[in-house]
Amino acid sequence: MRRVIGIVPVLIGVTIVVFLSVRLVPGDPAVAIAGIAGTEEDLARIRHRLGLDRPVYLQYAIWLANVVRGDLGRSVVNDYPVLPQLVSRGQMTLKLSLMAMLITAVVGVSLGIVAAYRSHTFWDYLAMAFAMTGISMPVFWIGLLLMYAFAVRLGWLPVAGAGTPAHLVLPGLTLALYSTALVSRMTRASMLDVLSKEYVRTARAKGCSEPRVLIVHSFRSGLVPVITVFGLQFGYMLAGAVVTETVFAWPGLGRLLADAIFLRDFPIIQGGVLVIALSFVLVNLATDVIVAAADPRLRYE
């Protein structure tokens, strides 16, 4: 409960930073709405309608009061309510992030276990070479390579867009590559440490099979740092899928925010960043709970 209560000041701090930062971005939403043919009278009328002619502290107080009531305002570009747009786009980003996390869990953990069990062999070097490649290569470059190989040359998967499960594959692989590489390295390091423990040698001496030694006696003990990385990466995916969504024209929250920044759509930017911050905080809270469940020796004060 203390951790849940601690979310409140974090989110208030986020709202202040975002609200002030958005207003430091060059450009005027009134100009974007009125267009190049707008007169000074038109601009003044639009600023008054949007409340931009009021003091900044008053604008923030009004916006925060509306947020508490669940009203994130209306887009200055299309005049649609902000919250339904964020929910719709957020669902698409969540779907993409879950796909990427599934790939990360299956591939990253498996590579890490194999690399640790076969340390300093060909399989270890191959897995770590993949991990270094995934960490080093830019996301947009990976996306373009996958698009060219599997969509343009082979024609197995759609190039971009959304609508079918096949549309999830390429952006999911692209988004998952960095996390898969990071998780595989973390799993390898954690497993190497656990495999050198005395209780693992005791389990082998008692005649336990290697799969049981790896999964029951070793993997669970080395799971804590892996879960922590999973939680952080899932939060980063929810917040940082802008490049992937742009490359594959995926209609997610990141792409909505990128478009809103170019159009100076303040309500969309403020609401979107608030939703991302809340998601990140909740994911970290859930990660702490799962880590404590995985290792009962840990207790959070």
- pLDDT tens for residues 93-150? 888 888 888 888 888 888 888 887 777 888 888 888 888 887 888 888 888 888 888 8
Predicted local confidence at residue 245, as pLDDT:
83
Predicted local confidence at residue 207, as pLDDT:
72
Does 103 lie in the same domain as 61?
Answer: no
Residue carrying structure tokens 């599997």: 150
pLDDT in tens, 59-75: 888 888 888 888 888 88
How many angstroms separate the CA atoms of 115 and 126, rounded? Answer: 8
pLDDT in tens, 249-270: 888 888 888 888 877 778 888 8
Is the pTM above the cut of 0.75? yes
CB 168 within 8 A of CB 268: no
Does 288 lie in the same domain as 208?
Answer: yes
Of residues 228 and 210, the one with the higher pLDDT is: 228
Q: Determine the structural domain holding residue 162 and report its residue range.
A: 88-294
Percent of the chain with pLDDT over 90: 0
How many angstroms separate the CA atoms of 177 and 187, rounded? Answer: 15
| HSE-CB for 147 with a 13 A CA cutoff | 17
Predicted local confidence at residue 88, as pLDDT:
87
Instruction: Look at residue 152 and tell me if it is in a domain.
Output: yes
- Number of domains the chain contains: 2
Does 104 lie in the same domain as 7?
Answer: no
Does 146 lie in the same domain as 59?
Answer: no
Instruction: Look at residue 301 and tell me if it is in a domain.
Output: no
**Taking 80 as the threshold, does the pLDDT of residue 157 lie above it?**
yes
CATH number at residue 107: 1.10.3720.10
Residues 6+ away with beta carbon under 8 Å from 160: 147, 167, 247, 248, 249, 250
**Taking 70 as the threshold, does the pLDDT of residue 299 lie above it?**
no
Does 94 lie in the same domain as 51?
Answer: no
**Taking 80 as the threshold, does the pLDDT of residue 176 lie above it?**
yes
Does 261 lie in the same domain as 167?
Answer: yes
pLDDT band at 28, cuts 50/70/90?
A: low
Does 16 lie in the same domain as 148?
Answer: no
DSSP state of 81: B
